[in-house]
Amino acid sequence: MEDMARLALVEQNVKDICKFNEILQELLQLINYILDNPHENENRTIKSETLRKVLNCEAFSDYLKYIGFQTLQNEFIFPKEQTLNKLRVAQAALERKINFCYGSDKNVRATGLPNHVQYRKKIQFTPANILETDNQLLLKIQTLFNDMIKYENEELQQMAREHIPLVTLQLMALDRMREQQRKIKTGEIKGHDMSYDIALLMELLGWFKHKFFTWVDKPSCDNCGKSTQFVKTITMRTETETCRVELYKCTSCGGNAQFPRYNSPRTLLRTRRGRCGEWANCFTLLCRALGYDTRYVYDTTDHVWCEVFDYESNSWLHVDPCEGVLNSPLMYSHGWGKKLTYVIAVSKDDLQDVTWRYTFDHKEVLRRRSAVSEAELVGAVLSLRAHRHAQLSPARRRYLAARALRELVDLMLER
């Protein structure tokens, strides 16, 4: 709660409620921009006139230093070497403060550019329909990669945020961090302090599994509510999509039941039910809505899950919303006994063959991989990646290239 106490001190010194609101909004806007664009080091300096005018307020300058800003040649800058963890905590504190002081109608994520940043229109990604092949696996990867574009719709992300009890999850995340710190200090566990990002992700994961989404194996009978048996699958057209519908017949009264397999995350926010495909689909949207760099992970042996990038460890973390599990990538091959062959991860601006993160005998896995040659698979991944990267800023391309290289090195290691 130290962030809130420090913000209260700033409020006491500023005194003008309208001016304080403007300060909160401007600072939140800058912090959001830094967190959304961690690769852009040139836009981490406080240049907003609103914020510069209050730098002579000791309480405000102390708060900036507390959350990671440093003074360099009379400028306040957030160094590229600085961890983003405190900035994430500050983001949550600012949002709560705005909500508390000025009402829930103000509690929207400030997505605009800070005043000093040259305006750039938000990238509208173009689908990459470039593969000249009949190979079904490669075409599936291309489709999955293109599907990730839908999660970048700002109106859809705002709709998703409205479903998340964010303040509650943020407070629970802070409690989780403090409990971790306590256990480390008392010697109950060994390790490092938990970052705010990971703590919040864990709370989001638990809430999603236990309170928001529901697993459907076989739907209950519409008439008597008893168990049903699968009959067949048909196709259904709605206003927004074409999807499969599983038809079932009641084993007791002979009544019918349907289970539509919706693909639209917008629809899933309403229905909140399904199997692993629907779970991963909706959870990917919620993670993107909270600013996590998120992947949808496709396993050709019939399972899907997610990955979230952790900026503290510079690595992708396995997240399975169906199981409520974080960072246990070998659970499928070790625990479930799955014979994995191809595991492909796609995000809004990158994709990767991550099979090796989820397996422990690479030679055995290679013997099972026969759907496409390794050279064709690598070529397709590189072509799709190049098409999407051509739509990015040079800074983002450089960042992604370095990140992909680090990941490839890690994937080469046998688990």
Instruction: Tell me the per-residue pLDDT of 287-314, one tens digit each, with 9 for 90 and over.
Output: 999 999 999 999 999 999 999 999 889 9
Q: Can you tell me whether residue 99 is helix, strand or coil?
A: helix
Confidence of residue 199 (pLDDT cuts 50, 70, 90): very high
Average pLDDT, the chain: 92
Helix (H, G, I), strand (E, B) or coil at 184: helix
Beta bridge pairs of residue 346 = 296, 351
CB atoms within 10 A of CB 332: 22
Is the pLDDT at 107 greater than 50? The verdict is no
Predicted local distance difference test score (pLDDT) of residue 37: 86
With 90 as the cut, is the pLDDT of residue 79 above it?
A: yes
As assigned by CATH, the class of the 136-214+275-411 domain is alpha beta
Taking 70 as the threshold, does the pLDDT of residue 109 lie above it? no
Q: Domain 2-106, what architecture?
A: Up-down Bundle (1.20)
How confident is residue 115, by pLDDT bands cut at 50, 70 and 90? low
Look at residue 404 in the predicted model and tell me its pLDDT: 96
pLDDT at 104 over 70: no
**The pLDDT of residue 116 is above 70:** no
Mean pLDDT of 250-271: 95
Q: Tell me the sheet residues that pair with 294.
A: 308
* Strand residues in 10-117 grouped as ranges (E): 70-72, 75-77
Domains of the chain by residue range: 2-106, 136-214+275-411, 217-270
* pLDDT of 31: 94
Pairing relation of β-strands 70-72 and 294-299? unpaired
What is the reported pTM? 0.87
Residue 166 scores a pLDDT above 60: yes
- pLDDT recorded at residue 1: 58
- Look at 69-73, 115-119, 250-254 and tell me which has the smallest mean pLDDT: 115-119
User: Which of the pair, 226 or 108, is modelled with greater confidence?
Assistant: 226
Annotated catalytic residues are 276, 303, 320
Three-state DSSP state, 161: helix
Whether pLDDT at 415 is above 90: no
213 pLDDT more than 70? yes
Pairing of strands 273-274, 214-215: parallel
Distance CA 368, CA 360 (A): 14
Q: For residues 173 and 167, what is the distance between their CA atoms, to the nearest angstrom?
A: 10
pLDDT tens digits, 40-68: 888 899 999 999 999 999 999 999 999 99
CA atoms of 179 and 88, how far apart (whole Å): 18
Of all residues in the chain, what percent carry a pLDDT higher than 70? 95
Average pLDDT over residues 158-169: 94
pLDDT at residue 41 in the model: 82
Place of tokens 């949002």: 95
Cα–Cα distance, 405 to 131 (Å, whole number): 23
Residues 78/69, Cβ–Cβ less than 8 Å: yes
Domain 217-270 has CATH 2.20.25.10: yes
- Comparison of pLDDT for 335 and 99, the residue scoring more: 335
